[in-house]
Structure 1
Amino acid sequence: MLGKSLASPLLTFDSRTCFCFSPQPDLTTTAPIVNVSLSNGVQPHVIRGSWTSILSSRKWELRSTTQKHNFILSDVERKTWEACRQALSVFKFSVDEEDKILGKAFGQIHSPYWGEERKKEVPTYELVNEVVDYLRSLNLSDEDLSKLLKKFPEVLGCRLEDELRTNVQVLEKEWGIKGKSLRNLLLRNPKVLGYNVDCKGDCMAQCTRCWVRF
């Protein structure tokens, strides 16, 4: 859900209550317009707050109604993000699921998979679509891809040439895994697509991306 980013109001409300803050350009020391929409007909317990901030530029907060995943995007970034959602629309995910997949893949939502290495990024439609098209080329149907993306959303943030293509080549050359065997492996352990280190038993503290897990 899109909402106005504001300075720390005190809010206590039912977990399924939705708030829409209407953007107001060039406002100073003015409380925003608040539209309250209740999904279950229950009134929120306490709603109170005041804001005295100068809104110098528009920022948008993407807030899931079912998950606590919040991140701030500018107008331009928001449009780019919505385009990336379109790249995933064929899989019939909900908006919340699309935000979670993209957020984990590109650092907007913390993922233990990346550790501290992943910086926040707003991807392009072309980047997301390119990865999806490559995954399709590995004999994965849209149903397969839907399962894979839910299980390992971070795959969209992996480098296509240096990680995805390279790892598929390693699997084929080193272990003879290709075709149907590759499809079965990716559905069982899709994280293999993002492995980028091999500690060879001497731990490098990058276990989530190490071939030793294979």
Structure 2
Amino acid sequence: MSAFTVSASALTGVRAPSGAAPSRRSAATPLRLGAIRQSPRGGTVQPRALPAGVLEKLAKMPQDDMASWESCKMLVVDLGLDDEAAEKCLVKAFGWGAQNYWRQSKVEEVPDVDQVEARIAYLVEIGIPEDQIGEKVLSKVSEILGCDTELLAANVAHIEKNYFMKRNTKSFTNYIARVPQVLGNNIDCVGDCAGDCKRCWARC
């Protein structure tokens, strides 16, 4: 069973009741964004390569939010991205940077561990190998990690109906690897451009 198999409640983004077993990443030690950190091998690790404005905002997070951020970052690291790439992935996925993808629909959102785990689990469920999610999906379109599972599911259904490819098949997996942005689409201009090209089916 995949490490990202989760319950149905997690797929809806609903938090577990008080007293439930915590996520395997919920106890991650929060780190100060952009700070000089000690390397496990000695010496120091330089500040993370994020824009100064983003670093400043993240550094002001409450401790609980920072812990959630670090836990989600480690989930992304587990998918094969390095520490810096995982940090940049979260910045894009949750609206802490430019808004050319989210267009103000997601602004400086603190990622929720349960929801991130559920989205990763869904990608595995539809046939994307766990060890390819980082390289084939998130490194190309990080924002997919910020899309609700309902949108991901709707787009998979659209692909199956209109592109005649079924989930958990080689052709489907190859298609997602080639154009992962389809998982986050939310518009189909059909020749009448709405100016939201990053999320339009006309590009796919």
TM-score (norm 1): 0.67
Q: Are 1:2 and 2:32 an aligned pair?
A: yes
| Counterpart for residue 207 of structure 1 | 197
Q: CA, structure 1 residues 173+80, in 2 after alignment: closer, same or farther (shift >3 Å)?
A: same
- 1:60-100 Cα offsets, whole Å, 9 max, x none, are xxx95334352321111101111212322322422211111
| Counterpart for residue 60 of structure 1 | none
Structure 1 residues 36-47: aligned runs within 5 Å:
none
CA distance in structure 2 between the aligned counterparts of 1:92 and 1:181, rounded to whole angstroms: 23
| Counterpart for residue 174 of structure 2 | 184
Write the letter of the residue equivalent to 1:206. D
**49, 63, 68: which one aligns with 1:66:** 49
| Counterpart for residue 144 of structure 2 | 155
SS state of the match for residue 88, structure 1? helix
Q: Are 1:138 and 2:126 an aligned pair?
A: yes
Shift of 1:196: 0.7
CA distance in structure 2 between the aligned counterparts of 1:174 and 1:187, rounded to whole angstroms: 18
CA distance in structure 1 between the aligned counterparts of 2:113 and 2:85, rounded to whole angstroms: 17
Q: Would the aligned equivalents of 1:100 and 1:109 in 2 still touch at CA under 8 Å?
A: no
CA distance in structure 2 between the aligned counterparts of 1:167 and 1:80, rounded to whole angstroms: 28
Structure 1 residues 3-42: aligned runs within 5 Å:
19=36
Q: CA, structure 1 residues 76+38, in 2 after alignment: closer, same or farther (shift >3 Å)?
A: closer
The structure, 1 or 2, with the larger RCO (C-alpha pairs under 8 Å, 6+ apart) is 2
Write the letter of the residue equivalent to 2:173. R
CA distance in structure 1 between the aligned counterparts of 2:154 and 2:129, rounded to whole angstroms: 21
Q: Which structure has more helix as a fraction of its residues?
A: 2
TM-score (norm 2): 0.70
The alignment covers a number of residue pairs equal to: 161
- 1:140-197 Cα offsets, whole Å, 9 max, x none, are 1123212111111100111211x21011011111121122111001100000011111
Q: Percent identity?
A: 30
CA RMSD of the aligned region, Å? 2.3
Q: Would the aligned equivalents of 1:128 and 1:156 in 2 still touch at CA under 8 Å?
A: yes
Q: Would the aligned equivalents of 1:64 and 1:96 in 2 still touch at CA under 8 Å?
A: no
Q: CA, structure 1 residues 197+134, in 2 after alignment: closer, same or farther (shift >3 Å)?
A: same
Q: CA, structure 1 residues 159+86, in 2 after alignment: closer, same or farther (shift >3 Å)?
A: same
Q: CA, structure 1 residues 113+64, in 2 after alignment: closer, same or farther (shift >3 Å)?
A: farther
Write the letter of the residue equivalent to 1:132. I
CA distance in structure 2 between the aligned counterparts of 1:66 and 1:130, rounded to whole angstroms: 28
CA distance in structure 2 between the aligned counterparts of 1:104 and 1:164, rounded to whole angstroms: 17
Q: Are 1:101 and 2:93 an aligned pair?
A: no
- 1:32-74 Cα offsets, whole Å, 9 max, x none, are xxxxx877xxxxxxxxxxxxxxxxxxxxxxx953343523211
Gaps of 5+ in 2: 1-30, 38-42
Between structure 1 and structure 2, the one with the greater Rg is 1
SS state of the match for residue 107, structure 2? coil
